[in-house]
Amino acid sequence: GSGQRGGVGAAPQAPRGVMDDLAQQELFEATAGLGNWHEVEKKPQYLANREECLNCLQDLQLALQKDEDGSIRLKLGEWKVLSNHLVPLFTSYREDHQISTEVLKLMVILTTRVGLFGSEQYQHLSHLQDYKDAFAKKDVFIILMGLLVENMEEDEENDRPNRLETFKAVLTLLRNLVSVPDPSAGDAGFTPLRRNMQSTYIRHFHDEGVLDFFGLFAEGISAEREEEEDQAWHLADILYHICTHVDPEELMRNRKEKNTRDLADLLERDKVDSKIHAPPSSRHSRFGTSMMKVDADGSMSVSASVLQIASVNKGGTLWRKEFRNAEGRGKKQNMFHNPFFVDLEEGSVRDHNQLNTYVKNSLEGAKHHPDAVLAGLKKFFEDFVQASFSALVSIMRSSCSSVKADERVVGTEFNRPHLLNFVSWFLEFQRHQYGVEVSKAKKSGEPLPVIDIASIQGAIDLDMIQFTTARLREYGKESGIHASYLVIVLRTLCQQIKTISVVTESTDSETRDCGDLLVQNIVKDDVMAHLSWIMKNYSSRSHDPRILSYTIEAFHTMIRLMTRVSERQQGRQVEFQVEKQNKSRLTRSSTTTEKEIAGLADARVVEALFFLLEKYKRHSPQLQSMLVKLIYQIVRAQPTNIVIFFELTYFMRIFRLMSDPTLSNSKSNKKYAEMVSLLQYILRQFFKCAETNGCVFAELLFRKVQENAQQSLLESHTSEFAAILDNYEDESYKRVLERIDAGETINAMREKQRAILKGQLPWTPEEDSVLQEKYSMYADHPLFADLLASELPDESQRTSAQVKKRLVELGLMAPRGVKRADEDPDAPEGKKAKKGDMKDVEMEAPSERSAAAEEAAAREAEMLEEDLQRLLDAAFDSQAPGAAEAAKEAMDLEQELEALLEQDGAAESSSSSAAPQQAASQPKVSEAELEAMLEQDDQVGSSSSSAPKPAPASQPQASQANLSQTADSLERDLERLLEEAPASGGASDMKASQQRASQGNSSQTADSLEMDLERLMEETPGESAPSQSGPKAGAEERQKQASQAMSQTADSLEMDLERLMDEEPSAATQEAPGGSQMPLSQSGHDSLSQDLERLMDEPSQA
């Protein structure tokens, strides 16, 4: 990063990182005043002028603080000031408090990383590695340890000045030095001794007791959490960089096991190399014989050619799919390209790092430490986990959650990756420690111990799981796969899931239930859908292979955990709740293991998994088994999924895999037995399909990728795959072939499909004729548009909105908002045509009913009754308890009303012969007299009903009066119900599914009641009215007036019912006194049912 600044005519300035001669001379004089080496009594000794040395130290500190472009820092590094002057000065004058403090401050500034770029960044790194090498001495660590102990706690007797500042400076210096990555082969300044400087520091930490100090200091930070955030991060960074070079499994393994493992690894590697570089045969291939060679270890090699070794190489297309390890741009820069970032190198990460050849030290052997150092580290980590781990993780997580990525400064940009790796390493360490305890218990025959989840609570609690899943969304789907950060997030998620898997296997019920709860919360955070999305959108060329390996491991383990939780429910079908967050919207759904596996039946997922399968030589046995099992599960989820592999590219890759001598003899190498079995299964299924469909060989030439919805001729790929398996006998596929045979081209069918999706398909005369013929039949039905759409041909795929729009174009229907011609403006509000009953209704009913609609009234009534019965059955079978009760109540009420109507009709027909004489004797009744009569009858209704008397001569009038009285009482009950409905708006709501079900069934009940009331009000006056042969006209006039009063009451009652139906769907549900929820209209329906029963009983009794 060099450049020039200045406007036109300005003098050229020195490039960035370059000092002028005057500044360089002043800097050199300041460094020369620090002192130098002298020979004293034939021994080299570093001597300095105290006053001059202090002045020079302060001048250097001031210069570095003003160094904005890094030129002074780079020049001091080039002159090796720290190793040649500062470290000797620090060790020689450690008793001089003033000099040692100033030197310590200057060393902290020099070892702190700054934001340099380009070549200057690598120069800065080389200088930091020089500084780290200068401190890799035992005497320096002794001095630093002494300063830490002296300044850690307050001492009233010997209180040193600037005690706290000195302590923080030493801790910061150790953090800066440990954070510097070791140089690897090819780096500037690399030497064989420098490649293991971190191991040297770890050994010094153990030998000089620094680990014990770290443990004591961590306990103090846990007690003062809010005030020690910076020091907590310093300590965490030191411990993290120790963990990067220590294998947690090696800490728990004894020396004998380690030696056995090393020998087994060497033997296995030698066996594989011998098979690959097997010598050719000495016989000619024309002889038709083979030569077999048996080695001392029992392995065999077979050859049948002379100086020729058969091999199948990759094509150019497959080579171009290999990972390129790009640096990335903008916000997606590859973090692993940053030379200052140090990733985990030991433990289970080595198995995944084998897949990415660009990872440093991925192909080298594991780092070894002395047994004494391993024992000390084991004890330290065990005590640290018990005492301070959760508290330290909580402090780190709280600081990382509130800082965005673009707001971080140099030195803190790796806080999130360090936190996630820190958690990953300690979770793996805890599992290995628990595994050792379990093995000891099994050997001694004691009960299995319970894993201590309290000590690692900060790593697997809900807060940390939500932090991890939030990073999964951020670096996954939201950013379009930020590869480098996503690798670390998936690594932490895998360790959390594997630890929870151990928890769910615990013998303690409370611990096991805690694990089940954590599994449900992980599924609830929509982790499975994000893992599936990563596999579908994985690109082998631009995305790190470890993304796919960690995703497979996490998905496979989660499927096992979900299955385990389901099996504990004693055979009940278990559905896991899922909350999907899309920006500010939150949706809830449910999922099962079968749904998650079925969601992976995608050609992109299979392509990614098979690409990883080809890296079998770099797989660990665990990853190999999980990968093969996951492919098996996808293939066997549906019988048609096997067709995905019926491509020539897959068969060529299978041939190349099976040609490898490593896989040729699976008996001697059981590691790849499952993979060979999978490949054989794919081939068997292909030739089994060939027995039914001879054209399957031609299908190898066509990709089985999922088509675009606008170009796909089938609803899903399942129809196409099923047609291939059964010789194209699938119904959906047969329809496409029939259209092709009829002369329709593929492009024409795709154009039609695009027009259908956009709603732009032209209407045919046949469809218009269907609308014109059938519309009168369904005109009054609330779902008339859906019914008409079902009458249209299936290939048109018309929607209800399109049907309504076409009805307006044909003139069969008026647009919404146009007033109906048959609507009486003076009619009551409730009797007018209801508008906007449904939100998706765009058009109004026709202005005039045709004659055909009148003729089809009977058929429509029968159809509505059938639809009502079907809806009631569906509601009764639904899962919502409120819906089932409402449906049952509506069904019972409907049956009871039908029976009452039949009884009422029979009673009225039996008394029709005496009606003329009874009606003729009645005087003329006015409207006021009728209302007074109704009030009087209402008061004596109870006594008359309990003691029935013979019917008087005025039976029709009494019957009409009772009916009017009952209707009036029913009207008042309905008005009270309507007034109470709005007051329940503050009641608690039910679940969405129960609310919709209860509202739907309540609406059906109201519809049924309305129909029965209309029939009752139409039949009752007619049946009780006198015949036309009545002798007197006055009786007919009085009968007419009573019937009009009855009609007005019935009309008012009908209007109230319609208002009730309109308001019920939007009414909230009220909570029952017992805490359970019930529909608001349930009590109203109960009262309505009782009133109707009384209404039916009184005419029959009369």
- Structure confidence by residue, pLDDT tens digits, 130-146: 999 999 888 888 888 88
The amino acid that residue 308 corresponds to is Q
Distances (CA, A) of 872 to 89, 800, 858, 876, 889: 93, 23, 21, 6, 10
**How high is the pLDDT of residue 866?**
60
Tell which wins on pLDDT, 350 or 831.
Answer: 350
Q: Is 412 helix (H, G, I), strand (E, B) or coil?
A: coil
pLDDT of residue 864: 56
Rounded to the nearest integer, the mean pLDDT of the chain is: 74
Which residue did the predictor score with more confidence, 839 or 711?
711
Residue 872 confidence (pLDDT): 57
271 token code pair: 């066996």
Residue 645's pLDDT is: 92
Distance, CA of 558 to CA of 569 (rounded, Å): 17
How much is the average pLDDT of 774-797?
83
Output the pLDDT for position 247.
93
User: Which of these, 1002, 1009, 776, 1061, lies nearest to 871 by C-alpha position?
Assistant: 1002
Residue of higher predicted confidence among 112 and 276: 112
CA distances from 200 to 137, 193, 885 (A): 9, 10, 76
pLDDT surpasses 60 at 890:
no
Q: Do residues 126 and 188 make contact, with C-beta atoms less than 8 angstroms apart?
A: yes
**Backbone angles phi and psi of 156, in degrees to 5:** -65, -35
723 pLDDT band (50/70/90 cuts)? confident
pLDDT for 69-95, tens place per residue? Answer: 889 999 999 999 999 999 999 999 988
Confidence band of 994 (pLDDT split at 50, 70, 90):
very low
Nearest to 1020 by CA among 877, 883, 911, 931: 911
Highest mean pLDDT: which of 268-282, 534-548, 880-894?
Answer: 534-548
Residue 744 has pLDDT above 90, yes or no: no
Range with the largest mean pLDDT of 16-20, 555-559, 820-824? 555-559
Q: Which of 304, 313, 177, 157 is nearest to 657 (CA)?
A: 313
Residue 666: its pLDDT value, please?
A: 53
- Residue 1078 has what pLDDT? 39
For 33-47, 158-172, 419-433, 593-607, which range has the lowest pLDDT when averaged over its residues?
Answer: 158-172
Model pLDDT, residue 391 = 92
580 DSSP β-pair partners: 587
Rg of the chain, C-alpha, whole Å: 43
Is beta strand 1070-1071 parallel, antiparallel or unpaired with respect to 585-591? unpaired
Tell me how far apart the terminal alpha carbons of the chain are, to the nearest angstrom. Answer: 107
The residue with tokens 């990614």 is: 608
At 397, is the pLDDT very low, low, confident or very high (cuts 50, 70, 90)? very high
Read off the pLDDT of each residue in 98-116 and give the average, rounded to a whole number: 92
Where does 397-452 show beta strands of DSSP type E? none
pLDDT confidence of residue 969: 55
- pLDDT-based confidence at residue 627 (cuts at 50, 70, 90): very high
Q: Which of 752-761, 858-867, 975-984, 1066-1075 has the highest mean pLDDT?
A: 752-761
Pairing of strands 585-591, 1077-1078: unpaired
CA dist 1059 and 834 (Å) reads 10
Indicate the range of 98-112, 762-776, 987-1001 predicted with least confidence. 987-1001
Q: How far is Cα 368 from Cα 374, in angstroms, rounded to an integer?
A: 9
Q: Which is more confident, 742 or 1085?
A: 742
The kind and range of the H/E element at 641 are none
Lowest mean pLDDT among 348-362, 855-869, 1077-1091: 1077-1091
pLDDT of 968 over the 80 cut:
no
pLDDT higher than 80, residue 748: no
Strands 36-40 and 43-47: antiparallel
User: If pLDDT is split at 50, 70 and 90, which confidence band does 340 have?
Assistant: very high
pLDDT confidence of 11, banded at 50, 70, 90?
very low
Residue 881 pLDDT level (bands cut at 50, 70, 90)? very low
- Span 997-1053, pLDDT tens digits: 444 444 444 555 555 555 555 544 444 333 344 444 454 555 555 455 555 545 555
What does the pLDDT read at residue 461? 93
Mean pLDDT of 283-311: 53
Token pair recorded at residue 680: 């054989």
pLDDT digits (tens, 9 = 90+) for 208-228: 889 999 999 998 887 765 567
Q: How far apart are CA 546 and CA 334, in angstroms?
A: 14
pLDDT at 1054 over 80: no
Asked whether 189 and 126 are in contact (CB, 8 A), the reply is yes
Residue 988 pLDDT: 40
Residue 602 burial (CB count, 10 A): 18
Residue 56 has a pLDDT of: 94
Please give the structure tokens belonging to residue 480.
């379009």
Q: Evaluate if residue 824 carries a pLDDT over 50.
A: no
**pLDDT at residue 494 tops 90:** yes
Statement: residue 978 has pLDDT above 60: no
Q: In this structure, what token pair is assigned to residue 903?
A: 């009884």
pLDDT tens digits for 648-697? Answer: 999 999 998 888 877 776 555 677 889 999 999 999 999 999 999 999 99
Half-sphere exposure of 84 (CA within 13 A, CB side): 13
Average pLDDT over residues 399-422: 78
The proportion of the chain whose per-residue pLDDT surpasses 70, expressed as a percent, equals: 61
pLDDT at 516: 93
pLDDT of residue 431: 95
Q: How confident is the model at residue 389 (pLDDT cuts 50, 70, 90)?
A: very high
Predicted local distance difference test score (pLDDT) of residue 847: 38
What the block records as the tokens of 49 is 């002028």
| Chain segment 900-956, per-residue pLDDT in tens | 555 555 444 444 444 334 433 344 444 445 455 445 544 444 444 444 444 444 344
Q: What angle, 0 to 180 degrees and rounded to 10, lies between the N-to-C axes of helices 717-725 and 731-741?
A: 90
